Amino acid sequence: MTATPPNSAASPIVGIDLGTTNSLVAIAGWPVASHAGAAAQSPRVLTDAAGTMLVPSTVRFDLDDPSAAPIVGVLAVAGAAAHAGTTISSAKRLMGRSFADAAPDLAYLPYHVVAGPGNTARIALRTANGESGRSISPQEVAAHVLHALRMRASEALGCAVTRAVITVPAYFDEAQRQATRDAARLAGLDAVRVVAEPTAAALAYGLGAHNAAAGAGAGATGTAGSERAVVVYDFGGGTFDVSVLRIVAGGSDDSSNAIADAFQVLATDGDTHLGGDDIDHALCELLLAPSGLSMAALTDQARRMVRDAAEQAKIRLSASEQTEVRVEIAAGGEVRTIVRTITRGEFEELVAPLLARTLTSCKRAMADAQRDLAGLAISAVVLVGGSTRIPLVRREVEAHFGIVPYTALDPDLVVALGAAVQGAIMMRQEAGLGRSAVLLDVVPLSLGLETTGGAMAKLVLRGSTVPCRASEMFSTSVDGQTSITLTVLQGEREMAADCRTLGTFYLRGIPPMPAGIPQLRVEFAIDTGGILSVTALEQRSGKRLAVQIVPNHGLTQQEVERIEQESFTHARSDMQRHRVADLLANSKLDLHWIGRQHTKHADKLDAASRAGLDLAIAELKRFVELATTASRGEHTSMLDANAMQRAKEELDRASMRLHEIAIAESIKGMKPGA
């Protein structure tokens, strides 16, 4: 008996793990045509006719016939050495990144990368003799992989598949997430939600843990309402993520399928440029070292062959104590044979520095999560990603957390299964069957606006749970201003120059008003898919601007680490610079308004009041000049901000009598009955 879809009028929502090395598509809550009698609620990875689950994220293009459909997956991998210049793998590491960001990878990629529009990374396809062909974006490569997964799902489910929950590394920034959505659109898929990979893994873990509870009890999440803390350690082919989550156990849903009720990400950390590919790079250097060759000096074909040999050696060394590598490549006009026996000990020495970087991320994530954990101990460490099959990784993770890692779920499949569960939850909501789980992710870096004086006003703080909203009031600093510039920033520093600009927008058509009079309400909204929307409303005129942020390219992990570290290193000086910038902007506005009243009514003040006011104006002007000079040279630490604040407050007091006179004169000038 085949289960009935939750809403026959709706299309299925599949779960897709778009990986650096391999990709998968899974389904939950929908009958599988090729698995008659299977429970509709059971998440499962969809396979091809041969029963193969993994689809290598590798695509081969045809330069001779651009209209020919690219070859995707296993067949592309099989012919990679013969078609090195047109066979693209690990494109995920280039998505949403600039050409400069990609520079460290270029020597190891068996294809040519060039700078495209906006300095974004583009792949230049090349013929076997090295002639350049057309250039394509990493998103186009990903789109062909997604299209292959979509076709697999459509065949398995017996209906057209057009919607998917797609996973991304937790530390993917706005540009990288947007690149993933673009790839989905090119593949004919609506990415109904973009979910962080560790969050999806935790969702699959929550389901698996409940199922395990019926047996030996290992991994059970406990009674309804109970809480547990889980670490998801995701070491994949191209990226590393670690997330600390609180899982609140729920009861059984309407189909008697017990699953966790809430998954809240407390902290996340990681490296979007660290994974199995980097282990392969280290092995390539080890293989080439005795011959004096380097990857950068090899042809596309030779690089592909050495890289493939390194990858296979890595896989074998996870099961064997040693392996022999033999590869023949053309180099320097001759055929060179590389033969090398690699022991597991040598392999682990290569892996150790990369592994240490993952554990450093784990420490940072745990430190960020401590406040929200509130004494709740970590009860499980879930391993995700093919690189966690390496014995050294499992040993070191166990030693670091003091917990034997949870490996009941296949690390290659767990992310896709979790994405499928999220798809089933969304289908249940559409069918009006209630919500059986809630995913609460976090913002990896703070978001804000540049203010007058070059400061960064943070609206959404790093670690905020999404979906979220935040708003703040702003105004103008120049009389008659009819346009307001909104520069959206991402980062942890206090000054705009030290943060990354995501986009600059303009609210035009504001009626000219005196400085400080316009009332601009700016709201940031981040939805469950991580999309940032910015709304600006000038409340007096009703002028409105609404945009979604689509940055040109993403952050490198080195930039992320620099942003975080510099926010601590420069915290004191940054706060000083921010304070001076705010004082400068507000003081200029005060001097502007008081100066206008002074011109009109100063002659009505008594001598003592006028002398005090003139002295206060001169003193604050002196500080404004000092602050302006200091800000230009970024030497704001040399300025006494407390003294400037006192000067501003003294002017406020000294100008009170002037304001009283100005108000009285204004009342006198009003006509009776007005």
Query: 450 with 550, same domain?
Result: yes
What are the CA-CA distances from residue 302 to residues 337, 339, 418 (Å)? 11, 15, 38
Q: In this structure, what CATH number is given to the domain that contains residue 503? A: 2.60.34.10
Q: Verify that 502 and 577 share a domain, yes or no.
A: no
Together in a domain, 540 and 588: no
Same domain, 454 and 527: yes
Q: What residue numbers bound the domain in which 512 lies?
A: 443-554
Residue 142 lies in a domain: no
653 within domain boundaries:
yes
Q: In Å, what is the CA distance from 290 to each residue of 279, 284, 339, 365?
A: 19, 11, 10, 40
The CATH code of the domain that includes 665 is 1.20.1270.10
Residue 88 belongs to a domain: no
> Do both 513 and 594 map to the same domain?
no
Token readout for 525 is: 């909204």
CATH number for 296? 3.90.640.10
Cα of first residue to Cα of last residue in the chain, in angstroms, is 82
Pair (547, 577) in one structural domain: no
The one-character DSSP state at 257 is -
Q: How many CA atoms lie within 13 A of 124 on its CB side?
A: 14
**473 to each of 143, 470, 521, how far by Cα in Å?**
41, 11, 5
Tokens 């695509």 belong to residue: 59
Q: Is the dihedral of CA 188, 192, 195, 199 positive or negative?
A: negative
Angle at which helices 276-288 and 344-373 cross, to 10°:
160
449, 536 contact by CB (below 8 A): no
Domain count, the chain: 3
541 and 585, same structural domain?
A: no
d(CA 242, CA 379): 15
* pLDDT at residue 513 in the model: 87
| Tokens, residue 88 | 């693209």
* Phi-psi sector, 448: left (phi>0), alpha (psi -120 to 50), beta: beta
Q: Which of 297, 329, 352 is the last residue of a domain?
A: 352
500 burial class (0-12, 13-18, 19+ CB within 10 angstroms)?
buried
**CA torsion angle 187 188 194 196 (round to 10):** -30
Scanning the structure block, which residue is given the tokens 């981040």?
526
Which pTM was predicted?
0.68
Q: State whether 613 and 651 are in the same domain.
A: yes
* Residue 32 placed within a domain: no
The answer to whether residues 560 and 500 touch, using CB atoms and an 8 Å cutoff, is: no
Residue numbers annotated as active site? 17, 92, 197, 234
Of the three residues 316, 337, 352, the one that is the final residue of a domain is 352
Determine the Cα–Cα distance for residues 497 and 538; give it in Å rounded to an integer: 26
pLDDT for position 463:
73
d(CA 191, CA 183): 9
Q: Do 298 and 346 fall within a single domain?
A: yes
525 assigned to some structural domain: yes
> Contact at 8 Å (CB) between 283 and 317?
no
Residues 481, 548 within the same domain: yes
In tens, the pLDDT along 623-638 reads 888 887 765 555 555 6
Residue 530 lies in a domain: yes
Parts of the chain with a pLDDT under 70: 1-10, 32-41, 128-131, 207-225, 249-261, 433-442, 528-530, 548-571, 574, 578, 630-638, 669-674
Contact 598, 515 (CB under 8 A): no
Domain boundary among 332, 352, 372: 352
The residue type found at 217 is G
Check whether residue 584 and residue 550 sit in a common domain.
Answer: no
> Do 548 and 464 share a structural domain?
yes
